[in-house]
Amino acid sequence: MNTRLDPVLSRIDSDLDATLDRLMDLLRIPSISTDPAHKADCLKAAEWLVEDLKSLGAEAELCETPGHPMVYGKIGSGGPHLLFYGHYDVQPVDPLDLWDHDPFAPFIEERETGKVIRGRGASDDKGQLMTFVEACRAWIAEHGTLPCTITFFFEGEEESGSPSLIPFMEANKDRLSADLALICDTSMVAPGVPSICSQLRGMLKDEFTLTGPVMDLHSGHYGGPALNPLREISKIVASFHDDQGRVTVKDFYEGVQEVPADILEQWKGCGFDEEEYLSGVGMTESHGEAGYSTLEQQWSRPTLEINGMWGGYQGPGTKTVIPSEAHCKITCRLVGTQDPDAIRENLRAHVESRLPVDAKVTWNQDLDGSPAAVMNTARPEFEAARQALSAEWDREAVFAGMGGSIPIAGFFTTILGLDSMLVGYADDDDRIHSPNEKYGLKNFHKGIRSWARILDAVSKA
């Protein structure tokens, strides 16, 4: 029996209806950050959160930026100091005709697999954000204080590129300083399997245009003698990988580390269903790098993907043309300590060394890159949190990789010098950027209880 924690968990259970009412109020605000028509709604959501944090007894304020405001709050004075990050903005709802209901009229839906919360932002990220706030509310209601010092940091531009984030963090380093950053904007590796993110892949974007003739040419007049940029770009793209799926760009794997054996064992027993994962998108087998499992390919191996390739005539029917230009868009998912700048340099050298006579290449100079983030799971707080999650879900929690990129984790390290712990309670089928977004009611409820347990465990770690 935990005389400090048990009353908090009981409070969470008994107050669930009121907790849901608060979440529904927040979900009704159409805080679409990328749409200027919703600027006032983003402000309204930020103001709502400021008032909600004040209701906990936190010192909270709305912080203006050139874009949508940040929400800052702080409460507590003892124990470890934790910085909690979430975002209150949401994705656009288009195409609206694919929604079965009003995206901003949230409700509880009964399903065969259990109740879900329906509405834009339910899972990404308002519902997840509120799991932490409600855990703090229950602690304060029972004990009048928290076992930790908490700084709340809520962003309103995550879904539109976070243009104000880095300047705000750099200008507020002292106010955002803490012992550890917490992020709740991730999913569980499988339904009911609690997960702590151990690594996030970085991202490199690039784009090039290959130009041959100075104009589009008639294939009857120039077919044969003319250099065809589409044919040449196809050769270059084909050269990016060998027959085993490995990237052939010079030094591409510099900084890539193998996954430790104990983590691989966790992944093997994490409940991931490879057949379901592949068949759900019409595939029967993995097509990635040979010698690595599907999870390893998704979480711990780097990739070079062709996101778009085009040129020549695109209209209906045919047109006998040899195009002047061909274009290619590329993204690389990065892991370990891979250097985006070095990879960009070697990628471009790879392309340029394969140009035929009479061809030239130009590169998009406005694309960025960010390194991978590897979490410091050796810190005692990580194992304490893993044990806390295991106790709540009655199932061993795992340190799981993530195939995507969450830049804020890297910014916490590079700007604030903080390690980050990412714990989320979403399911992969929550349709977070699609119509009919949902968030499991069980996940929301147990997410609150999980954070309450983590606060207790981390305060003792």
Q: What is the pLDDT of residues 398-415, one digit of tens each?
A: 999 888 778 899 899 999
As a whole number, the mean pLDDT across the chain is 96
pLDDT at 357 over 90: yes
What range does the domain containing 325 cover? Answer: 202-256+302-367
What is the arithmetic mean of pLDDT over 325-337? 96
CATH code of 189's domain? 3.40.630.10
My answer on whether 392 and 426 are in the same domain is yes
> Helices in 122-216 by DSSP H: which ranges?
126-143, 165-171, 173-176
Q: What is the pLDDT of residues 303-323, one digit of tens each?
A: 999 999 999 999 999 999 999
Total of domains in the chain: 2
My answer on whether 349 and 414 are in the same domain is no
379, with CB counted inside 10 A (0-12, 13-18, 19+), is middle
Rounded to an integer, what distance in angstroms lies between the CA atom of residue 165 and that of residue 163? 6
My answer on whether 440 and 454 are in the same domain is yes
Rounded to an integer, what distance in angstroms lies between the CA atom of residue 353 and that of residue 210? 13
Rounded to an integer, what distance in angstroms lies between the CA atom of residue 437 and that of residue 430? 6
- Return the closest-CA partner of residue 196 out of 255, 258, 267: 267
My answer on whether 59 and 87 are in the same domain is yes
My answer on whether 395 and 317 are in the same domain is no
Residue 285 lies in a domain: no
pLDDT at 370: 86
pLDDT at 57: 97
Q: What is the pLDDT of residues 205-257, one digit of tens each?
A: 999 999 999 999 999 999 999 999 999 999 999 999 999 999 999 999 999 99
Name the pTM for this structure.
0.86
Contact 67, 156 (CB under 8 A): yes
Residue 274 lies in a domain: no
pLDDT at 8 over 80: yes
pLDDT at 44 over 90: yes
